[in-house]
Chain A
Amino acid sequence: MLEPIKNNWRILLLVVVVLGATVALFAPQFGPQTAPGENVSEAQQGVTNLQYGLDLAGGTRVRAPLIGYTATEVDFGGDQPDEVARAVAAELENASARDIGAVPEENAVEVTNPTVTESEFRAAMDASGYAYEDIRSGVTQETRDIAQEVITSKINEAGLSGGSVQQVQSLTGEYFILVEVPGEGREDVIELLEERGTVQIDIAYATENGTAIQEEVLIQDDFEDIGTAAQADRGTGAYVPVTVRNTAPEGEQSPAHSFQQAVADRRFASAYNSNQDQCRYANGSLSGERNPCLLLTVDGEVVNSFGMDAELADSMASGGWATDGGFRLTTSEFSEAEQISINLRAGALPAELDISGQGTSRSISATQGENYKTYSLVTGILAVFAVAGMVFLRYREPAVALPMIVTALAEVYALLGIAALLSYPLELAVIAGFIAVVGTGVDDLVIIADEVMSEGEVNSRKVFNSRFRRAFWVIGAAAATTIIAMSPLMVLSLGDLSGFAIFTILGVLIGVLITRPAYGDILRRLLTIR
C-alpha cells in the first residue's frame, strides 16, 4: 500500500505543490487584504488572488529623501532635548526651535528647515557649544519614522487602498522615503504629500442650555514645538510635550497669551482642582460635572479631548504660564499619545520631501498598466511556445518533450501561487523573472533527459538512478551559480529588480527541489516500463 507512494513521492510532491498553488491562487481565504470599507471582491484584481504592482495596474511611486542636516554623536552634556534645540535655534537666523530636533537616543541634533544650509548649521552647532562628531545630510531615524507614519495616515485618510510607505537606504547610506499609491496619478499623489492638514485645539465649555465650543484657540502655526510621545514619569500614562509660541508681531497678542486668556475665561482653574476632576466629552456635548475640555480637532473632526492638570490651570489663571508656554497633552495609553503627536503634525511632515530635486517618481496610467498586463501575458505565452517548439524539434519524442514542457509550466504555476500567497505585487520585472525561470528550468530538464537516455537503453531502476544522480550534480552546481549571481540584486536597492531576483531564485529553488526530481521520476516511468 505504501510502496507506490514511496516510489512516486517526487511526482506526488509536485502534484501537492500544484494543488497548493491552485488554492493560493483561487481560494478566497488567501485573497488580498482589504482596505477599510472595501470588500474582498473589490480588493481582488481579476479572478485570481494575484496582486498587480504599479507597472501592471497603474499608479504612482515617489521616492525622495527628507531634507535636513543631522549632527552626529552630539554630547548633550546632561541638558534636556528642548534646551538643546532652543540653544541651537538661537544661533540660526532663519530657524525656530520647531525646525530643530534633538534626539538623545541617537545622540543627534537635526535641522529640518530647508533654507538652512549645511555650513550655517555647522556654524550654529559650533556656536551652541555642544560637541559633535560630524554633520551629515538627511534627518534622524526618529524623524523618518514620524514622516513615514504621517504619510501612511494621510494615504489612509484619503481612502486610497493598497498604498504603501517604506524607508529605503541607498548604497551610500542615504535614506529615502518610498511611497507607492496604486491607481493615482502623479500630481494627485504629490499634492497629497505636500498638502497640510489643519489641526487645531478648541475649547468645549458648558453653557446654561448645553455645550458651546470656542474654536481655534490654538492652530498649528501657534506651536513652537511638538514633541514625540513619551511615557509618564510615574504611573501608566503617557504624554506629548508641546510648546506654544510666545512671540507675536508688534501690537498683537502672542498665541501663548491668547490661549492662556481663553483657558482662564472658560474657568479651567475652578473646574480642575484634583485628579478626580475629569473631562467628559462625547458627541458634541459635555457630561458629568460638565468641566470645560480642550478638544484636539483634525480636519474638522474631534479626535481627542483633554482635561487640565490643576497646577497648570492655576498658572494659566494667574497669567504666569505664557512666558514658558509648555504643557503636556496627557493620555492613558502610550499608543494614544503617539497618535496625538502624529495628528498634531498631520499634514505637516516633520521635514520636507525633496521630490523635485533628489527624488525619483514613476507614474503609470491605469490603461497603460492594463496594456502592460496583456503584453506581458502574450510575451510569456509566446516564450513558452518558443521553448516548447525547440524541445519538440530536438527530441521529436512526445514522451520526453511533453512532460518537459508540462513540468516547466508547473514551475511557473507554483511561482504564481507563491506570489499570490505572499501578496507580492507582480511587476514587469517579476514577469521577466518568470520567463527566465522557464528558460533555466527547461535547460535543466534537457540535462536530465540527455543524461538518462545516453549510453543506451535504460532497463533498470539502478541504471536510471545512477544516471539521474550524475545529472543532478550539474543541475545543483548550475542552480547554485544562478542563486549566487542573483543574490546581490535581492539586497541592493535597485528598484524593481529585487522582484526579478527574488522570483528567479525562488524558481531555481522550486526547480531543483521539486519539479526537476519529479520530471526524473516521470521520465523513469516512461522509459523503464517497456
Chain B
Amino acid sequence: MVAIEVPEVNYTEYSNRQLVAIPLAVLVLALAIIGGWFLVTGAPANLGLEFTGGVELRIADDGGDVEQQIETAFDRQPDSVRSIPADDVYVVTFRAADEDPEGLANDLSTQAEEAGLSTNAIDQVSPSFASDTARTAIIGVALAFLGMSVLVFAMFRTFVPSLAVVASAFSDLVVPIAVMNLLGIQMTLGTIAALLMIIGYSVDSDILLNNSVLRRTGEFYESVNRAMRTGVTMTLTSMAAMIVMAIVAALFGVDLLRNIGIILSVGLCADLMNTYLLNVSLLRWYKFEGVKR
C-alpha cells in the first residue's frame, strides 16, 4: 500500500521573491479574469438562476425522444437544456424575460404538460427577488471575510503574520471564482455557501502554520515542516471528501452539492499554494527581517 508522505520542502533554496511570485501571479491572473468578465458580461461571474431570475424545469426522461419534444414544446426558446442521465431528467432553464415576467412558470408548466412531458420540479425566481438575493449574498461574503480578518488580527496581534493569513484567504476566495468562470459554472446560492466555507476552511492551515512558527519554540524551517505535515494532510482529506461529493453529485444532477464540492476543491487547492508559498515567505520575511526593524 502506498502511504501518503508529505514531502519536506527545502525552502532555503528559494528566495522570498521567488516564493511569492507564483501565488501573486495566480492571484493577478484570477483578478484579471474576473475583471474581464465584469467588463464583458457586466457581472463578475456567470450568474445562475437565483441571481438573474427565471424558471428552471426538471423534466422526466421516460424514454422516447424527450429532447426533441423539449425543443418544440415551449413558445420560448429555452436558454439551456442539460441532460442528467443518472437521474433520467432534463434540466431546462429559461431566463426571466424583461418584457413579460408574469405567469412565466404557469405558462411553461402548462406547455410542458400539453406536450406530454412530465415535470419533476419547477423553480421560479423573479428578477427583482434575484437582484435582492445577489446583494444579500455579496454582503454576506463581505461580512464573513471582515469577521474572519478581525478575528485573525485579534488572535495573533502582529501585523505581518495576520496579514499573511488574510491575504491568502482573499486569494483562496478569488481563485475559485475565476476557475468557475473558466469552467462555465454558474454562481448560485450553493457556490456562495462554498465561498463562505472556504473562508472558514482555508484559514485552518494558515492558523496552524502561524501558530507553529510564532507560538512554538524551535527553528523556523522545522516549525514550517511540522505544520506542513499536518496541514497538507488536513487539506488533502477535506479535498478528497469534496472531490468525491462533486463527482457523485454531478452524476446524479444534484447541482447544489456538485457546486459546493467543486468550489471547495478548487479553493483548497489554491489554499495549498497560498499557505505554503505566500504565507511561508511572508512569515520568513517577518521572522528574519521584519522583527529586527
Report which A residues bind B (CB closer than 8 A): 63, 170-172, 174, 186-187, 190, 356-365, 367-368, 371-372, 375-376, 378-379, 382-387, 389-391, 393-394, 396, 428-429, 431-432, 435-436, 438-440, 442-443, 446-447, 450-451, 454, 470, 473-474, 477-478, 480-489, 492-497, 500-501, 504
Q: Which residues of A contact B126 (CB under 8 A)?
A: 357-360
Query: A446 and B233: CB pair below 8 A?
Result: yes
Per-residue CB contact flags for chain B residues 136-158 toward chain A (1 = under 8 Å, else 0) read 11011101110110011001000
B125 interface residue (CB < 8 Å to A): yes
| A359-B129 CB under 8 A given contacts A171-B135, A482-B200, A485-B199 | yes
B132 interface residue (CB < 8 Å to A): yes
CA–CA, A137 and B128, complex, Å? 13
Report which B residues bind A (CB closer than 8 A): 1-4, 50, 58, 87, 89, 101-106, 109, 119-126, 128-129, 132-133, 135-137, 139-141, 143-145, 147-148, 151-152, 155, 189-190, 192-193, 196-197, 199-201, 203-204, 207-208, 211, 215-216, 226, 229-230, 233-234, 236-238, 240-245, 248-249, 252, 254, 256-257, 260, 264
16 new A-B pairs (CB below 8 Å) besides A356-B106, A451-B230? A356-B104, A356-B105, A361-B123, A363-B123, A365-B120, A375-B254, A379-B245, A385-B244, A386-B243, A432-B193, A438-B241, A474-B204, A485-B196, A492-B139, A493-B136, A495-B189
19 pairs, A vs B, C-beta closer than 8 Å: A63-B129, A171-B135, A361-B122, A376-B257, A379-B252, A383-B245, A386-B243, A387-B240, A428-B257, A432-B245, A436-B197, A443-B201, A443-B234, A443-B237, A478-B203, A485-B148, A485-B197, A486-B196, A493-B136
CA–CA, A264 and B292, complex, Å? 102
Pick from B136, B137, B241: contact of A383, CB below 8 A: B241
Task: Give chain A's interface secondary structure class.
Answer: helix
CA–CA, A56 and B198, complex, Å? 26
Pick from B104, B120, B257, B264: contact of A367, CB below 8 A: B120
CA–CA, A489 and B196, complex, Å? 9
CA–CA, A379 and B259, complex, Å? 13
Q: Which residues of A contact B215 (CB under 8 A)?
A: 473
Report the minimum CB–CB distance from A109 to chain B (whole Å): 24
Pick from B189, B229, B241: contact of A386, CB below 8 A: B241
Report the minimum CB–CB distance from A377 to chain B (whole Å): 11
CA–CA, A393 and B2, complex, Å? 7
Query: B241 and A387: CB pair below 8 A?
Result: yes
| A443-B204 CB under 8 A given contacts A186-B122, A393-B3 | yes
Report the minimum CB–CB distance from A383 to chain B (whole Å): 4
Query: A481 and B241: CB pair below 8 A?
Result: no
Report the minimum CB–CB distance from A387 to chain B (whole Å): 5
Q: Which residues of A contact B155 (CB under 8 A)?
A: 477, 480
Pick from B1, B123, B135, B238: contact of A393, CB below 8 A: B1
Q: Name which residue of chain A comes closest to B125, CB basis.
A: A360
Pick from A360, A376, A394: contact of B4, CB below 8 A: A394
Query: A486 and B254: CB pair below 8 A?
Result: no
Q: Which residues of A contact B199 (CB under 8 A)?
A: 481, 485
Query: B197 and A371: CB pair below 8 A?
Result: no
The 8 A-B residue pairs with the shortest CB-CB distance in the complex, in nearest-first order: A482-B200, A485-B200, A485-B199, A375-B252, A484-B147, A450-B230, A368-B120, A386-B244
Q: Name which residue of chain A comes closest to B53, CB basis.
A: A360
Q: Which residues of A contact B144 (CB under 8 A)?
A: 484-489
